[in-house]
Amino acid sequence: MSNSAHSVIRITGGRLFLAAMLSTALLTLRCLAENYLDEAYYTKWYVQVETQRLAEHIKIIDGKATLNSTSGLDFYSRDAAQDYGYKIWNSVDPIVMTSNDALMAMVSPGLTEQGRLLPDVWLRKTSPTWFHVTGGRRFEVQGVELWIEVATRGDPLGLRYRALFLDFMHDVLIPLTPPVFLSALLAWLSLRRTLSPLTTIADVARSLQPDSLGQGIRIKGLPREFADVVGAYNAILGQIGKLITSQQEFMGRAAHQLRMPLSIMMLEVEKSEHEFARKISNDLSGLGNLVDRMLEYSRLQASTDLKREDVDLVELCLAAQLDLHSLIQTHKSEVTIVDGGDTVVFAEGIAVREALRNLLANAVVHNIDHTKIRIVCGPGAQLSIEDDGKGLQLGPSSDPFAPFFRGTTSATGFGLGLAIVKQVMDLHGGLIDCG
């Protein structure tokens, strides 16, 4: 499977994320529009935020209110102090403390009147100019009732942006974040549960063997949509299984049908003393070898149960070397078998011996004479064959273990040797590679 393929969960998660971002953007635009298109709304938030900030710095000592820290309030005494002011009072002391008396006297006269102290939150513009405003709120600090009022002329330091941020938190992030995360979590859990049958389907599909394709994948218990897909997949598997069976039967029958005529032709050619009889005999011998390999390949493809027993890889290598003694002598090859230890394995000896014979024959035939071949058995159920020859010439998409594969068009043989080796490895659940 391609590494670039994205999972359904990732795709759905991405779409949910985009939807959340779109919702956030729309709510943010709404928040900005409420503040910048409605000055009264914006100034209300400003007054609430600034009076709350002052209230947090007030400390009651001996029943009197004082500012315990000016940290965060230094803008009341900086260069732009003339454009900011505050006033704090209660029912006992008409004025507890004040800043910028001139501004507060100008924008908020008569603050000691009881009618002016109601309602608990008040707001009014002091000029038609943008953000010239005064307003206040009633607080209870450590049991003492206080009224705090703030005023600004145009907010030159941009303190209103803090109010805008808090409004954004109140109207956008706080109400949106929990449902977004909860929706994402529920979507993730739901998708994992919904898609879990796909994992089972994939595991079963990977475990299918050519001789069990007709069994297909079990549909019972699957969601309807998955059942439809698996049903179509099973139909395709059934067709592929029939094609493989037909191919195996054809190859086996063709090989059997050819064996008898070839044997008769060999007998007749041996009786002839014609000069071309030897060449014909060699060609018939090659065809006989092809028929034998086709029969062996068909037998392995049709095998389902192996007759396993404890066999020694070193002994099987020695037997394969003995089988190919004449071929090795003809090519003057040097074969060395190394015992890597723990070489007894549980396998079908006949099949493994056939695989070793094919591997060794390839190393001998497809190299120059006097090739040195080294076979290392073990440790455990592993074996490697190395030689000092030219190696196997492979293209980027070549599969040397495919039936009838030949490295070059001029190569001798029929391309079934490595296919037989691969079939033996598959039957034993093993792996094979070449390099």
Question: Left if phi > 0, otherwise alpha if psi is -120 to 50, otherwise beta: which for 257?
Answer: alpha
Neighbours of 323 (CB within 10 A): 16
Band of pLDDT at residue 91, cut at 50, 70 and 90: low
* CA–CA distances in Å: residue 113 to residues 8, 109, 110, 135, 138: 68, 9, 6, 15, 15
Residue 140 has what pLDDT?
86
Which of 86-90, 130-134, 344-348, 398-402 has the lowest average pLDDT?
398-402
DSSP string, 310-340: EEEHHHHHHHHHHHTHHHHHHTT-EEEEEE-
Distance CA 374, CA 379 (A): 15
Q: Which of 28, 45, 46 is nearest to 173 (CA)?
A: 28
pLDDT digits (tens, 9 = 90+) for 270-290: 777 777 777 777 777 767 766
At residue 98, φ and ψ (nearest 5 deg) are -150, 160
pLDDT, position 313: 92
> What is the mean predicted confidence (pLDDT) over 219-228?
77
Give the bridge partners for 122, in sequence order: 136
In the prediction, which pLDDT does 315 show? Answer: 92
Rounded CA separation 81/74 (Å): 9
| Band (376; pLDDT cuts 50, 70, 90) | very high
Lowest-confidence region among 137-151, 252-266, 401-415: 401-415
Is the bond leading into 119 cis (omega within 30 degrees of zero)?
A: yes
Rounded CA-CA distance 376/357 in Å is 15
Condensed to tens digits (0 to 9), the pLDDT of residues 124-157 reads 888 888 888 888 888 888 888 888 888 888 888 8
In the predicted model, what is the mean pLDDT of residues 14-19?
A: 82
Q: What is the dihedral of CA 53, 56, 62, 68, to 10 degrees?
A: -80
**Over pLDDT 70: what percentage of the chain?**
78
Is the per-residue pLDDT at 175 higher than 80? yes
Element (H, E) at 134: strand 132-141
Tell me the Ramachandran region of residue 296: left when phi exceeds 0, alpha when psi lies from -120 to 50, beta otherwise.
Answer: alpha
**Residue 122 backbone dihedrals phi, psi, to 5 degrees:** -135, 160
Residue with the larger pLDDT of the pair 228 and 375: 375
What pLDDT, on a 0 to 100 scale, did the predictor assign at position 116? 44
Residue 34 has pLDDT above 60, yes or no: yes
Q: What does the DSSP assignment read for 165-178?
A: HHHHIIIIIHHHHH
pLDDT of residue 117 exceeding 50, the answer is no
Listed by start position, the domains of the chain span 38-158, 245-302, 309-427
1/39: higher pLDDT: 39
Residue 296 CA to its chain's centroid (Å): 42
Q: Which of 76-90, 304-318, 361-375 has the lowest mean pLDDT?
A: 76-90
Q: What is the pLDDT of residue 32?
A: 81
Coil, strand or helix: which one is 295?
A: helix
Q: Euclidean distance between the first and final Cα of the chain, in Å?
A: 23
Q: Is pLDDT at 43 greater than 80 in this prediction?
A: yes
- Is the per-residue pLDDT at 394 higher than 70? no
Second CATH level (architecture) for the domain 309-427: 2-Layer Sandwich (3.30)
Q: What pLDDT is recorded for position 409?
A: 44
How far is CA 429 from its chain centroid? Answer: 27
**pLDDT band of 317, cuts 50, 70, 90:** very high
Cα 112 from Cα 103, distance rounded (Å)? 16
With 60 as the cut, is the pLDDT of residue 114 above it? Answer: no
**The model's pTM:** 0.44
User: What was the pLDDT predicted at 105?
Assistant: 67
Predicted local confidence at residue 207, as pLDDT: 73
- Looking at domain 38-158, does it have CATH number 3.30.450? yes
Place of tokens 């898609």: 195
pLDDT grade, residue 312 (50/70/90)?
very high
Compute the chain's Rg from CA coordinates.
Answer: 45
Residue 97 · residue 88 · CB < 8 Å: yes
